[in-house]
Structure 1
Amino acid sequence: MATTTPATDTELFDALRGGKSAALDELFRRYYVDLCRTAVRFVMDETTAEDIVQEVFTGLWTKRAKLPSDTQAVGPYLRRAVRNRSLNYLRDRKRIPVDDGEMPDITADAAQEPGMGMERAETQQRITRAIDRLPERCRLVFVMSKVENMSNREIAEGLDISVKTVENQMTRAYKFLREWLALLLPFIFCCLCLI
């Protein structure tokens, strides 16, 4: 009995361009969850993120004949489409902030974080929560840079701000995260001493 090897992403993209709906279904199964995570990082709402990803896949089917034929990296292509659709969603709803916002109070935030029993997953969750506490524009810039690996120029173009503003927002984010994490270090050290 011969086993068939699964189609590559590029083969599925080619089949999609040819009008094969099964190719769209398979791409959807492969990428839906990861693309929803990408969208949530921008819009901060799971339902909206799911809608955005579904719109991207609907758009793929609608514009299948016009899809680029030289796409070797289907995953990054889909992530970029979701990222752009997420930014459009924020822009259309005037949710891309135009001001820098106030940084949260470090000491109050850290005091709410118990330090005992901290493990790697817990540490990651705390870092994620700290990032989510950043003012909206600062958070968006940080996520686009460090999670989406976008360049400062790409971020500036996506948010319609200057590269200097991107640099300033990254400086603010790093400063806040450094201070916030520095307050957690004594808790981490204390936990390690108890082991």
Structure 2
Amino acid sequence: MGPSPIDTDQQLMLRLRGGDADALDELFRRHYVSLCQTANRLLRNEQESEDLIQDFFVSLWEKRENLPPDLSAVGPYLRRAARNRCLNFLRDRKRLPLDDGELPEHLPAAEPATSLEHRELEQRIQRAIDLLPERCRLVFVMSRFEEMSHKEIAASLDISPKTVENQMTRAYRFLREWLALVLLLTSMGAAPG
């Protein structure tokens, strides 16, 4: 008998450990989109993110007998495992940034704006985050979106906790200046793209 839509993630993981392919399908349906979003925040490539998460679910099936038997927080477990897979992917392709990089000297060109809706603001903030130098962006994303501690980020990227702290300071300073400019230009009828 396949999983019911009311099965908890924990029940699905137990069924998965026992070889229930329907449980894997249900976990995939429940978590695929959010795990792809997590991967894309780190990789900044939708196709690579989707491929990596699909491969992640295949490996989940292949290694099902080795899954922790007493998982109480399945979502965070899957997210952490997917995040680690992304970091390994970046490391294997030598895409983990080795230097601090330079912050952009100029912000994107201003464009007219009549109202700054919440969604527009989120998109503009995401574009500003994407302007950060790669290591700074990765550290910021891992801290703010993946909710990793500075110590966890340092260990994952093989950098010192002080470097993590410095990168977060750089990111916040840049984003603060950028947001102040957005608000100023918005009040004047234009906002950075």
TM-score range, shorter chain: over 0.9
- Distance in 1 (CA, whole Å) between partners of 2:133 and 2:112 is 23
- The letter for the 2-side match of 1:184 is V
Q: What do residues 135-162 of structure 1 show as CA deviations (whole Å, max 9, x unaligned)?
A: 0000000000000000000000010100
Residues 115, 184 of structure 1: 8 Å contact kept: no
- Distance in 2 (CA, whole Å) between partners of 1:188 and 1:120 is 13
- The letter for the 2-side match of 1:166 is V
Inter-CA distance 113–133: structure 2 relative to 1 (3 Å threshold): farther
1:50 Cα deviation (Å)?
A: 0.7
1:16 Cα deviation (Å)?
A: 0.2
Matched, 1:169 2:170: no
- The letter for the 1-side match of 2:146 is E
- The letter for the 2-side match of 1:151 is S
- Distance in 2 (CA, whole Å) between partners of 1:174 and 1:103 is 12
Q: Who is 2:82 aligned against?
A: 82
Q: In structure 1, which of residues 126, 134, 137 is the aligned counterpart of residue 135 of structure 2?
A: 137
Structure-to-structure mapping, 1:1-195, within 5 angstroms: 6-105=6-105, 108-190=106-188
- Distance in 1 (CA, whole Å) between partners of 2:66 and 2:109 is 54
- State the superposition RMSD in angstroms: 1.3
**What are structure 2's unaligned runs of at least 5 residues?**
none
- Distance in 2 (CA, whole Å) between partners of 1:118 and 1:146 is 23
- The letter for the 1-side match of 2:15 is A
Residues 145, 151 of structure 1: 8 Å contact kept: yes
Aligned identity (percent) is 61
1:113 Cα deviation (Å)?
A: 4.5
- Distance in 2 (CA, whole Å) between partners of 1:185 and 1:91 is 37
Inter-CA distance 18–65: structure 2 relative to 1 (3 Å threshold): same
Inter-CA distance 23–31: structure 2 relative to 1 (3 Å threshold): same
**What are structure 1's unaligned runs of at least 5 residues?**
none
Q: Which runs of structure 1 show a deviation greater than 2 angstroms over 4 or more consecutive aligned residues?
A: 110-117, 187-191
1:78 Cα deviation (Å)?
A: 0.6
Corresponding residue SS for 2:86: helix
TM-score w.r.t. structure 2 length?
0.92
Corresponding residue SS for 1:109: coil
More helix by share: 1
Greater Cα shift, 156-165 or 112-121? 112-121
- The letter for the 2-side match of 1:169 is Q
